[in-house]
Structure 1
Amino acid sequence: MQRDYIKEYSHRLGRDMEILHFGHAGRTLLVFPTSMGRFFQWEDFGLVEGLGDLIESGAVQLVCVDSVDGESWYARDRPPADRVRRHLQYEAYIVDEVLPRLGGPPLACGASFGALHAVLLAARHPTRVGGFIALSGAYDTARWLDGYHDDNAYFTNLFAFLPGLTDAAYLGPLRAMDPKVIATGEQDPNVDDSRKLAALLRDKGVDVGLEIWPGWAHDWPYWKDMMRRYLAG
């Protein structure tokens, strides 16, 4: 399997960022790590290996990006306004510096906090994303902002801005995405987030698939099985 390591300076973030790219052809999966996770998580926890035949055959390729969650949502030592601003800088890094090198709209994927990144990117930049697979996500970003509110906080909270979204320029591409998957475990502590997000999207005519797996399902072996199922059938 082709494996390429990339380390480049990000002008949007003002620091070096690292990427692992697996594969040589096929649909591009843009992979976000879990909470404060790193670009090598999916390799370390076996998800790359689990999709190995699809990667080797040229059906898919994985672009695994790094996170700055420890500088944004999880930076409790920073004022909430700074946390969300840092996230927006990270989003700009993805949109302006990563996506242009991919050759077309990717399938945004992630588990746990990575699921939030995947769906938030899809909802905020629907013409730049071709679909999403979100596993065991927690989607209410208000819980990381200690009650703080401003426009940035509003427009980075799916539960805040989706109910009022009426712009066809956003909803049309969202509805056209394929696949649109939200999956979690029935005992996952954030299972209600997944149900609520799916309901909000369906209310907007986005035919998202919601699948509740038996058990807890908030762990790497489950996510490995989920990715295999949703990509290979």
Structure 2
Amino acid sequence: MNREYHRWYSPALEQDMELLVFGHSGARVLVFPTSKGRFYEWEDRGMMNLLGHHIHEGWLQLYCVDSVDAESWYAHWKHPGARAWRQVQYENYLVNEVLSLSWLKNQNPFLITVGASFGAYHAVNLALRRPDLVSRTIGLSGIYDISRWADGHGGGHIYANNPSAYIPNENDHQRLELLRKLDIILAVGRDDGLRDNNEYLSTALWQKGIGNALRIWDGWSHDWPYWEKMLLTYIGGHD
């Protein structure tokens, strides 16, 4: 299996950033770690072995990125606006640096974003903000309402990075057309406290004519053994 380690100074984030690449061809997959997680989390959790066949066959090429959660939404000492601004810088890093690297290495136009728990927020938020770039997004046990990290603040970059806020108000025709072409898969446990938010976002999307697959799994299902099964179920499409 092709495995590459990359590190460079990010102009967007003004610090060194690291990532791992797995595979040689196929759909490009942007992989986000869980809250405050590292770029090697999915490898450590055995997810590359889980997807080994897909990677060896050249169906998928994964780009596992680092998070800056501790500098953005989890930086409780910062004003919420500053937390949101760090999120904007993170997106700039992803789009202008990581995805640019992925395109240099692999011109497959199909891009998947995927993450679990807080990583699902990043995966789905990026897809909903940039449907011109993303083809499929897979959120595993995700949260899509950033309010609890905003301390009662809204508007500006906070609003613009809160899918539960901006999707109900989306009225841009061009963006709506792009969003309606996006494959959106939201998987969550029936007993997961985040189920209500997943159902809310799914409904908000449908109300805008944006199709999506909401999949409710038995039990809590908010842990790696469940995410493994979810990933294998949805990485190739809807069940």
TM-score category of the 2 structures, normalised to the smaller one: over 0.9
Aligned 8 A contact 2:128 2:179 in 1: yes
In the alignment, which of 125, 129, 138 is matched to residue 120 of structure 1? 125
2:132 match: secondary structure: helix
Q: Which runs of 4+ in 1 moved over 3 A?
A: none
Alignment partners' CA distance in 2, 1:105 and 1:151: 30
Residue number in structure 2 paired with 1:131: 136
Map 1:1-233 to 2 at 5 A.
1-103=1-103, 104-177=109-182, 179-232=183-236
Note closer, same or farther for the CA distance 1:105–1:94 as it changes in structure 2 (3 Å cut).
farther
Give, in angstroms, the shift of residue 216 of structure 1.
0.8
Alignment partners' CA distance in 1, 2:155 and 2:45: 37
Give, in angstroms, the shift of residue 105 of structure 1.
4.9
Aligned 8 A contact 1:46 1:224 in 2: no
Alignment partners' CA distance in 2, 1:205 and 1:151: 25
Letter in 2 for 1:127: D
What residue ranges of structure 1 are gaps of 5+ in the alignment?
none
Per-residue deviation, residues 128-164 of structure 1 (Å, max 9, x unmatched)? 1111011000111011011112311111111111111
Give, in angstroms, the shift of residue 187 of structure 1.
1.0
Letter in 1 for 2:188: T
Alignment partners' CA distance in 2, 1:169 and 1:114: 27
Moved more, 162-171 or 31-40: 162-171
What residue ranges of structure 2 are gaps of 5+ in the alignment?
104-108
Give, in angstroms, the shift of residue 230 of structure 1.
1.1
Aligned 8 A contact 2:185 2:212 in 1: yes
Residue number in structure 1 paired with 2:106: none
Note closer, same or farther for the CA distance 1:16–1:105 as it changes in structure 2 (3 Å cut).
farther
Letter in 1 for 2:70: G
Aligned 8 A contact 2:192 2:222 in 1: yes
TM-score by structure 1 length?
Answer: 0.96
Q: Percent identity among equivalent residues?
A: 47
Give, in angstroms, the shift of residue 92 of structure 1.
0.8
Aligned 8 A contact 2:27 2:110 in 1: no
TM-score by structure 2 length?
Answer: 0.94
Alignment partners' CA distance in 1, 2:157 and 2:10: 22
